[in-house]
Amino acid sequence: MRICSLLPSATEIVGALGLASALVGVSEECDFPPEVRGLPVVSASRVDTRSLAGDEIEKAVRDAVRDGRTLYALDAELLEALEPDLILTQDLCAVCAVSSGEVGELCATGARTLALDAHSLGEVGDRVVELAQVLGVEERGLALASAMRERLEAISARVQAGDRRGVCVAEWLDPPYAAGHWVPEMVELAGGRELLGTARGASYATTWEAIRELHPELVIAAPCGYDHERAAREAALPDLGCRVVAVDANAYYARPAPRLVDGVAQLAFLIHPELVEDPGLPYVELQR
């Protein structure tokens, strides 16, 4: 089967299922597993997120959404030339990837289009199994989903002896966005209490003052699409009166893929270092 993935998390799942060699095209943002980085790029963001500052990205995205403009360009000619059997995308977030509807409007290929949407960690496992079934490797999908679930249960068991510490995860920095979808669930499993975000809900804009007034014990700077170094570089934050840590959200928090489990392990360590060993993921201390 020939696969085009317009979604980084879908690309990761394909790789985790041992089928990265079936990928013939990816989006500009697909960077894991590493072997996909040289593949033809069939979709790219219209917003230059590499050169713009966080507030400029926020304005560009907000203006595009308000005006009904798509945020991604799809190279329909290249996509058709690659002759995929399956195109992977999503319908969850207008700013994350080309939607399945847009693929149908812009491209005449006869390939099947599959939207892999997930609002929770459990649904991430469900999408792993669903894609594995489509790709003819259902047993691999079931094993991967089971391994994810078992590891999450083990992490949760490690923090049961600790108190529930107040945590705020910021999915954007300028302005800060309260976490949504699976991220509050990650905090809960890691032994914390997400003070602003709602599990399975959408993220939303807030203020640093509102976060400070909640008296969190830990603030996680996890802007969507940023690694820990860029998050630390652009985190011009006021004194929040607590520990603040920048993490690699791009790899371990923002994408509904198996590496979210690694993010939970890191959160458990950051919230309860007395109970959980450092899993070795990168982070930067911003405030103590």
Same domain, 170 and 113: no
Q: Which residues contact 161 (CB under 8 A, 6 or more apart)?
A: 275
Structural domain contains residue 34: yes
Structural domain contains residue 84: yes
pLDDT for the residue numbered 49: 62
pLDDT for the residue numbered 27: 92
Give CA–CA dist 247/281, Å, rounded.
Answer: 8
Structural domain contains residue 52: yes
Give CA–CA dist 259/187, Å, rounded.
Answer: 15
Find, among 254, 263, 261, 223, the residue nearest to 93 by Cα: 254
Kindly report, residue by residue over 233-281, the tens digit of the pLDDT. Answer: 999 899 999 999 999 999 999 999 999 999 999 999 999 999 999 999 9
Same domain, 111 and 185: no
Same domain, 9 and 113: yes
Tokens 């068991």 appear where?
157
Structural domain contains residue 217: yes
Residue 250 belongs to domain spanning = 161-287
Structural domain contains residue 186: yes
More confident site: 12 or 90: 12
For residue 168, the SS3 value is: strand
Per the DSSP assignment, residues forming a β-bridge with 178 are: 170, 204
Structural domain contains residue 108: yes
Same domain, 173 and 109: no
Same domain, 283 and 171: yes
pLDDT for the residue numbered 106: 53
Same domain, 171 and 282: yes
Counting Cα atoms < 13 Å in the Cβ hemisphere of 235 gives 26
pTM (whole model) above 0.75: yes
pLDDT for the residue numbered 108: 55
Per the DSSP assignment, residues forming a β-bridge with 166 are: 193
Counting Cα atoms < 13 Å in the Cβ hemisphere of 123 gives 16
Same domain, 171 and 259: yes
Tokens 């489990």 appear where?
261
Helix (H) or strand (E) holding 246: strand 243-247
Structural domain contains residue 142: no
Number of domains in the chain: 2
Chain mean pLDDT for the chain: 90
Last residue of a domain, one of 94, 117, 140: 117
Same domain, 95 and 165: no
Same domain, 201 and 281: yes
Q: Are 197 and 267 in contact (CB under 8 A)?
A: no
Q: Are 62 and 68 in contact (CB under 8 A)?
A: no
Q: How far is CA 207 from CA 75, 168, 245, 255, in A?
A: 38, 12, 17, 24
Same domain, 87 and 188: no
Mean pLDDT of 43-61: 67
pLDDT for the residue numbered 92: 60
Per the DSSP assignment, residues forming a β-bridge with 73 are: 44
Same domain, 165 and 112: no
Return the DSSP state at 238: P
Q: Which amino acid, one-letter code, is at 116?
A: L
Sheet holding 86-89, edge to edge: 72-74, 41-45, 23-27, 3-5, 86-89, 112-115
pLDDT for the residue numbered 104: 55
Kindly report, residue by residue over 141-179, the tens digit of the pLDDT. Answer: 999 999 999 999 999 999 999 999 999 999 999 999 999
Last residue of a domain, one of 98, 117, 136: 117
Is residue 60 pLDDT above 90, yes or no? no
Give CA–CA dist 53/49, Å, rounded.
Answer: 8
Is residue 8 pLDDT above 90, yes or no? yes
Is residue 25 pLDDT above 90, yes or no? yes
Burial 127-158 (b: 16+ CB within 10 A, else e): bbbbbbebbebeebbeebbeebeeebeebeeb
Peptide bond into 33 cis (omega under 30): yes
* Residue 44's pLDDT band (cuts 50, 70, 90): confident
Peptide bond into 279 cis (omega under 30): no
Find, among 215, 270, 214, 273, the residue nearest to 246 by Cα: 270
Last residue of a domain, one of 117, 152, 182: 117
Kindly report, residue by residue over 70-91, the tens digit of the pLDDT. Answer: 667 788 889 889 999 999 988 7
Q: What is the CATH number of the domain that holds 99?
A: 3.40.50.1980
Tokens linked to 190: 């890691």
Is residue 51 pLDDT above 80, yes or no? no
Tokens linked to 24: 């013939």
More confident site: 50 or 209: 209
Structural domain contains residue 139: no
Number of residues written out for the chain: 288
% of residues, the chain, pLDDT over 90: 76
Same domain, 16 and 103: yes
Is residue 67 pLDDT above 60, yes or no? no
